[in-house]
C-alpha cells in the first residue's frame, strides 16, 4: 500500500467557447453566443513519478516495477470546480487527459493504467406510492416516502464515470442528474504508464454542454490557452526508479 499526499493546486478559470453549429441553416438563424468565463476552474495538474525512493520498503510494489522494467509510472492529480448558474446550467462535461509520446513507435504505449473515481452514483430511494397533500397536490412519486409498509427500491443514476482505461486518451464524464445539479468541486487522479525510452506529455482539456433557456443545449470546448494544461513527463534516464 502506497500513500501519496494530495496536492492543493491553485485553480484557474477555464474559458469555454461555443462550438459552431454543424448545419448552415441553424448557424445562420442562431444569434451570436457569448463565451462562458468563470464557470469552470481547473487545478493545475500535478505529476508524481513512482520511484523506488517513494516506495521505500514496499516490496510488492518494487517487484511490480521490476516486472515492468521497460515502463515508468506517474500519478497525475487533477481538480476541477463547476459553478452553477440558474439561467445556463451545466448538462454534461468531459475532462480529458491526452497522453502523447514523442516516439510513436516506442513501447509500451502510453496509457491510463488506473483512474479514480471510476464511477460516482446519485442514489434515490423510490417506493410504490404517490404522496399527495390535503389539497390533492402531488408532492412526490415514490421519492423520499417513509411510511411503514411501503416497498422501497434504490434507483441509481451515474453522475461521474471514468472512460478510456488502458487507452492514451482517458476522460471523466460528468452528468447532471434528476436530483443533483452539476456543480461543486471534484478531485481526480490517474496513474499513467509510459515508455521509459521517450518523452511523453499529458494535455488536459474540457468539453461541456450547457442548457440555455431559449436556445436549448449548446456545446462548448475549452480555449487553447485556457484549459489545455500540458505536463511534460519526460523520459526515464535509466537511473533510480
Cell of 137: 397536490
Q: Tell me how far apart the terminal alpha carbons of the chain are, to the nearest angstrom.
A: 17
Q: How many residues does the chain have?
A: 241
The three-state secondary structure class of 20 is coil
pLDDT digit string (tens) for 101-133? 999 888 999 999 999 999 888 765 655 555 656
CA 111 to chain centroid, in Å, comes to 16
pTM above 0.95, yes or no: no
- Provide the residue ranges of all domains of the chain, joining segments of one domain with +: 11-120+162-232
Cell of 240: 533510480
DSSP code for 136: -
Q: What is 11-120+162-232's CATH topology?
A: Immunoglobulin-like (2.60.40)
pLDDT digit string (tens) for 38-74? 999 998 778 888 887 777 777 888 888 889 989 999 9
Amino acid at each position: 500500500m502506497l500513500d501519496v499526499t494530495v496536492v492543493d493546486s491553485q485553480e484557474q478559470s477555464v474559458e469555454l467557447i461555443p462550438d459552431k453549429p454543424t448545419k448552415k441553416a441553424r448557424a445562420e438563424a442562431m444569434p451570436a453566443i457569448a463565451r462562458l468565463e468563470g464557470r469552470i476552474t481547473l487545478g493545475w495538474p500535478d505529476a508524481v513519478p513512482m520511484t523506488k525512493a517513494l516506495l521505500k520498503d514496499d516490496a510488492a510494489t518494487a517487484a511490480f516495477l521490476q516486472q515492468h522494467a521497460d515502463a515508468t509510472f506517474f500519478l497525475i492529480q487533477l481538480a476541477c470546480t463547476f459553478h452553477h448558474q440558474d439561467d445556463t446550467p451545466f448538462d454534461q462535461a468531459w475532462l480529458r487527459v491526452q497522453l502523447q509520446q514523442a516516439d510513436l513507435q516506442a513501447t509500451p504505449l502510453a496509457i491510463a493504467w488506473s483512474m479514480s473515481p471510476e464511477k460516482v452514483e446519485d442514489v434515490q430511494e423510490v417506493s410504490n406510492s404517490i404522496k399527495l397533500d390535503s389539497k390533492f397536490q402531488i408532492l412526490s412519486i415514490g421519492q423520499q416516502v417513509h411510511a411503514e409498509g411501503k416497498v422501497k427500491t434504490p434507483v441509481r443514476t451515474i453522475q461521474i464515470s471514468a472512460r478510456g482505461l488502458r487507452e492514451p486518451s482517458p476522460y471523466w464524464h460528468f452528468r447532471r442528474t434528476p436530483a443533483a445539479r452539476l456543480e461543486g468541486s471534484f478531485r481526480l487522479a490517474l496513474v499513467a504508464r509510459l515508455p521509459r525510452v521517450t518523452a511523453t506529455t499529458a494535455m488536459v482539456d474540457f468539453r461541456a454542454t450547457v442548457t440555455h433557456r431559449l436556445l436549448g443545449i449548446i456545446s462548448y470546448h475549452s480555449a487553447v490557452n485556457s484549459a489545455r494544461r500540458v505536463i511534460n513527463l519526460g523520459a526515464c534516464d535509466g537511473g533510480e526508479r
